[in-house]
Every structure is written in structure tokens, then in C-alpha cells.
Amino acid sequence: MDFELSEDQLALREAARGLLDDLSSPLRVRSVVDRGGGFDDGLWKAMADQGWMGVEVPEEQGGLGLGPVETAVLLEEVGRHLSPAPFLSSLLAVGALARAAASGVDWAEPWVEALVSGEAIGAVVWEPLAPCSSHPRRT
């Protein structure tokens, strides 16, 4: 079994690295931290413009239609650069919403569009189905 990245995946990694070298340099990351945290709007827009928010979203839903390896390539570079952007949380949210929209959940599609375009930022919150005895539920 071959675990090496394909030429397209290597090209994606190099393109991501180039963009993040410019927009998520240590100086820019420090600037975001010194301003009190949050995320870098310019970086977020550039990531969205490259289609990263829709890396695994099917093309018919406005995404790139790529797979988990390409997602991992992007996540690795985002982490390598300590990029101040809510990338993983948005990927998780858009993935769940894209599956919901494909299953006929009408209200999910506008959120998929907003997340893929970078107009919205995603977050995922979940609650266990059954309470855990070591972490009792608070009401």
C-alpha cells in the first residue's frame, strides 16, 4: 500500500505552505496575539478564496470535492504555521451541515454556502447522548 502523497496533494501542500508563509508568518501571528487574540481577517479571506473551507464539500454543493487526505494536508500546514484562523471548527461544521443538506435538511444549505464562502465561521458543540457518571449533568 502506498502512503505517499500524490503529485496533486504535494502541490496543494506547497500552495498552502506558500500562502501561509506569507499570511501566517510568526510576525503576523504575534500581531494577532498582541491584539488580544481572535483571528486574522485577511488570512481567513485568503483561505476561503482558495476554497479551503469547502475542501471536502462535494462540488455540487459549492466545495472542492476533495477527500480526507487533502483535508489533512491543509490542517497540517495550518497547524505548522500556528495560523490564527478557526479552520478546523469551520471544517467540522460545514461537513456536518453539507451532509445534512444532502439529506434534504432545507435550512442547512444556506449555512453550507456561507461557511464555504468564508462569510460565516463554524463551531461544533455536542452533548453526550447519555450522561457520564464522572461528569454529571448540570441543569
**pLDDT greater than 90 at residue 110:** yes
What pTM value is reported for the model?
A: 0.86
State yes or no: pLDDT of 71 exceeds 80: yes
Instruction: Write the pLDDT tens digit of every residue in 112-122.
Output: 999 999 999 99
Give the model's pLDDT for residue 64.
96
Q: What is the mean pLDDT of the chain?
A: 92
pLDDT at 2: 84
Residue 10 has pLDDT above 90, yes or no: yes
Look at residue 131 and tell me whether its pLDDT is greater than 70. Answer: no
- Residue type at 17 in one-letter notation: R
Say whether pLDDT at 139 is over 70. no
Model confidence at 127, in pLDDT bands (50, 70, 90)? confident
Spell out the residues 6+ positions from residue 105 whose beta carbon is closer than 8 angstroms to its own.
none
Task: Answer whether residue 104 shows pLDDT above 70.
Answer: yes
For residue 132, pLDDT beyond 80: no
pLDDT of residue 21: 97
Is residue 11 scored above 80 in pLDDT?
yes
